[in-house]
Chain A
Amino acid sequence: MDISPVFFYLFAGSAIAFSVSVILKKNPVGSAFSLVMVFFSFAGLYALMDAHLIAAIQIFVYAGAIMVLFVFVIMLLNSDVPSLDMGRTSLLIRSLSGFFAVVMVGIFVWAFKESPLLGLPGEFTSEKIELAGGNTQVVSELMFSEYILPFELTSVLLLAGIVGAVAIAKRDKSLSGRT
């Protein structure tokens, strides 16, 4: 893969370091800010792989919208309890799941290294994308021609998400006396 090795290892190293810090930090605010750094590293990796539109959307949607939602919810909940960290699982479960994760990563790396990349090469080589006006133009034209049906279904999904989030988070009058 003809991408710059220096920038790849820089972004990949910071992504791994910060994602370990996401799952190990005691304070959820610290985890949230580590997650922001992971998202920025991923945006750098997308830009490195010539997926410029995805890199921009990663910043907008993940580092912007989703993280603001997370920090907002942490702020809402944090006013009532002194600390959100309610202890962790037992040492046995922790070490077993860590061991399992390392084994699975080993298996995946072995499989990726030993097997060839299958699949027929498509038509979108980097020269052809450059000739057609860049990554953003090609992706946009595809989204509104070949992938128009999934694109429209996405709007239905978002509508269901809006209605569901409001309905779930709304204060229910009939239940408020029970707790």
Chain B
Amino acid sequence: MQVEPWVVLGFCSSIFFIGFTGVLIRKNILIILMSIELMLNAVNLTFVAFSRQLHHMGGQMSVFFIITVAAAESAVGLGLVIAMFRTLRSVDTDDIRLLRE
């Protein structure tokens, strides 16, 4: 019994769209950042699956750079969350309306 490549890639896309749904349906900005991490992880797994399937190391190298970008992104993103909480006393994305008023 074998695992077909389309099963692995379909699993990656389902994780990606779970994260995508999380960005759409949640209003807590921390959960939105976590959903972005989920999407990045799904893309990483797709890279590794293709790297193994095509016997090419470029996919695994891309994963390293994506992990670096994800670490920098979450550091800056959580800094933004702290700045937002200090200004608005809230982590609800509906409270970000300084430009609308």
Contacts and interface: CB of A to CB of B under 8 A. Distances in A.
B91 to A, nearest CB: 6
Contact of B5 (A80, A87, A117): A117
A interface SS class: helix
A154 B15 CA distance: 27
B13 A46 contact: no
Given A1-B8, A1-B52, A154 B31 contact: no
Contact of A69 (B55, B56, B74): B74
Given A62-B41, A161-B75, A168-B80, A73 B30 contact: yes
Given A1-B49, A46-B45, A108-B9, A86 B82 contact: no
A61 B90 CA distance: 28
A97 B31 CA distance: 16
A166 B66 CA distance: 22
A161 to B, nearest CB: 3
B41 A105 contact: no
A162 B49 CA distance: 32
Contacts of A50: 52
A168 B86 CA distance: 11
Identify whether the interface residues of B are mostly helix, strand, loop, or mixed.
helix
Contacts of B25: 23, 88-89, 93-94, 97-98
Contact of B63 (A54, A85, A97, A150): A54
Contacts of B15: 15-16, 19
Interface of A: 1-3, 5, 8, 12, 15-16, 19-20, 22-23, 28, 31-32, 35, 38-39, 42, 45-46, 49-51, 53-54, 57-58, 61-62, 65-66, 69-70, 73-74, 76-77, 80-81, 84-89, 93-94, 97-98, 101-102, 104-105, 108-109, 112-113, 117, 119-126, 135, 138-139, 142-143, 147, 150, 154, 157-158, 160-162, 164-166, 168-169, 171, 175, 179
Interface of B: 1-11, 13-15, 17-22, 24-28, 30-31, 33-35, 37-38, 41, 44-45, 48-58, 60-61, 63-65, 67-76, 78-83, 85-87, 89-92, 94
Given A86-B90, A104-B13, A119-B50, 13 more contacts: A23-B22, A31-B31, A51-B51, A70-B78, A77-B30, A101-B20, A105-B17, A109-B9, A112-B9, A112-B10, A126-B55, A164-B79, A168-B83
